[in-house]
Amino acid sequence: MGYENDPGSIDAAPVTDWVNDWDWLDSQWGTDAIDIWNAVREVTPMAMTERYGRAFMPVTMNAVSAIAKDTENFSSRFVSVAQPDAKRRPAPPITSDPPDHQGHRRLLLPSFSPKRIEQMEDELREYSRGLIAELAGRDTADAAAEYSQHIPVHGIAQMIGVPDSDADIFRDWIYRNFQLAPRDNRVREEVTADMRAYFGDLLDARADDPRDDLATLVTNAEIDGEPIDRELKLGYLLLLILAGIDTTWSAIGSGLWHLGSNPSDLARLKGLSFDDPLWLTMSEEVLRFYAPVTMGREVIGDTTVAGCPVRKGEQVLVTFPAANHDPAAFERADEFLMDREVNRHLAFGLGIHRCLGSNLARLEMKVAFQEWCAAFPEYRIDRSKRTTWTNGQIRGPREIPVVLR
């Protein structure tokens, strides 16, 4: 299993022109995406490529917001930019358009309410401390492999009702889905079959033996009194595991990478009470600056975005992270300001699909940062080793070598 900053075994020519030939799986995306978006924005609000059929990449707040809000011309039925003939399978609510979307979202929403998520805090802290305890006596560590990647798996696995011990299986699905599948339909079919088999067994198990978890909620789900198709039930579970892990793992990892690279920012957190608002503003700035998630849409009506015509059948990214660096939307957009007061970032998207797991993600980030910084108040990135970043839909560090003390 590889989590390298590479596109796996699938060859593609390196990008030399990000305005006319962008590729989110190019190896520069992981490490240089922010510079790439900023450079494109100097030339155009909408870059394009023919690598996945014709597909556009908006880089301004206005263009990204216009696409995310326009569900008449942009469909979510396929939320990755991939080969045009990739098979579409439902994973509601993220792949649902109005009017179906609302019912699917309403089904899951109560499980992610602030009140429900707050109850997880003590247990998540204990879990994070357990990971830190395993580093006792060590001078160096990998803050991704030994810390940030585990916390979101633990959180969502508990909620769905699947064992933490299957974490390697989940991470393998994530790697194949996000790093390989956009270029290769065969990989998409294989990984989807693996996921469907796993969750098919889970649905059957909960039908026989219901529990207090999301898997049981989905197994027995009805919308407006009507039972839900098994295909959709599999889609809910696939989405929850994919959306619940890689995203927050990337956000926690990016924050730890930032603090380990910027000792003056880290020093401001030293000895700080866990109630101090700086923890929250710092987390929000991590979300703005290092927003991990870029989505895709299929164009279903001819229209124009930022003066650029887009046609039915083409694809667009919803490049939320690029919007977060638009100087027209944020003062000092390219500076990381730990106490930025007004921070209307788009890391969680906007419009009807705005992230349903944001309360969980924020809690996991807060707990992860607080426990790590309390344990290692002067850690730093180990520059003698390589930090690797993923490309594509979910961007974040996958190896973060650190000196702990």
Nearest to 211 by CA among 176, 159, 165, 263: 159
Q: How far is the CB of 128 from ligand HEM (least distance, A)?
A: 15
Pick from 30, 58, 292, 397 the residue near ligand HEM by CB under 6 A: 292
Note whether 19 and 40 are within 8 A (CB): yes
What is the Cα–Cα distance from 36 to 64, expressed in whole angstroms?
16
For residue 251, state whether it binds ligand HEM (rule: CB under 6 A). Answer: yes
- Ordered DSSP codes for 171-213: HHHHHIIIIIGGG-HHHHHHHHHHHHHHHHHHHHHHHHS--SS
SS3 46: strand
Tokens standing for 391?
Answer: 């490309």
Question: Considering the rule CB under 6 A, would residue 244 count as an interface residue with ligand HEM?
Answer: yes
**Smallest gap from residue 305 Cβ to ligand HEM (A):** 15
Q: Is 93 in the site for ligand HEM (CB under 6 A)?
A: yes
Q: Is residue 76 involved in binding ligand HEM (CB under 6 A)?
A: yes
In single-letter form, the type of residue at position 31 comes to: T
Residue 260 found at the interface with ligand HEM (CB under 6 A): no
The region of 184-192, 198-206, 275-283, 347-355 touching ligand HEM under the rule CB under 6 A is 347-355
Minimal distance in Å, beta carbon 43 to ligand HEM?
Answer: 25
Residue 205: name the closest of 243, 242, 161, 165 by CA.
Answer: 161
User: Is the CB of 141 or the CB of 242 nearer to ligand HEM?
Assistant: 242
- Centre a 10 Å sphere on the Cβ of residue 212 and count the other Cβ atoms it contains: 7
Q: What angle do CA 200, 112, 211 make, to 5 degrees?
A: 45
Total residues binding ligand HEM (CB under 6 A): 28
**Interface with ligand HEM (CB under 6 A), residue from 295, 305, 323, 404:** 295
Q: What are the two backbone dihedrals, phi and then psi, of residue 324, each rounded to the nearest 5 degrees?
A: -70, -10
| Helix (H) or strand (E) segment spanning residue 91 | none
Give yes or no for residue 247 binding ligand HEM (CB under 6 A).
yes
| 320 makes contact with ligand HEM (CB under 6 A) | yes
Give 217 or 295: the residue with its C-beta nearer to ligand HEM.
295
- Residue 329: alpha-carbon gap to chain centroid: 22
CB of 174 to ligand HEM, least distance (A): 13
Q: Which is nearer to ligand HEM, 10 or 167 (CB)?
A: 167
Helices H / strands E in the chain, number of each: 14, 14
Q: Which is nearer to ligand HEM, 15 or 60 (CB)?
A: 60
Contact between 64 and ligand HEM by CB under 6 A: the answer reads no
- How far is Cα 203 from Cα 170, in angstroms, rounded to an integer? 17
Does 141 bind ligand HEM (CB under 6 A)? Our answer is no
* Contact call for residue 357 and ligand HEM (CB under 6 A): yes
Judged by CB under 6 A, the stretch of 80-88, 236-244, 277-285, 305-313 that binds ligand HEM is 236-244
Dihedral of alpha carbons 127, 128, 129, 132, sign: positive
Q: Counting contacts by CB under 6 A, is residue 105 touching ligand HEM?
A: yes
* Interface contacts to ligand HEM, rule CB under 6 A: 68, 76, 79, 93-94, 105, 156, 239-240, 243-244, 247-248, 251, 292-293, 295, 318, 320, 347-349, 353, 355-357, 360-361
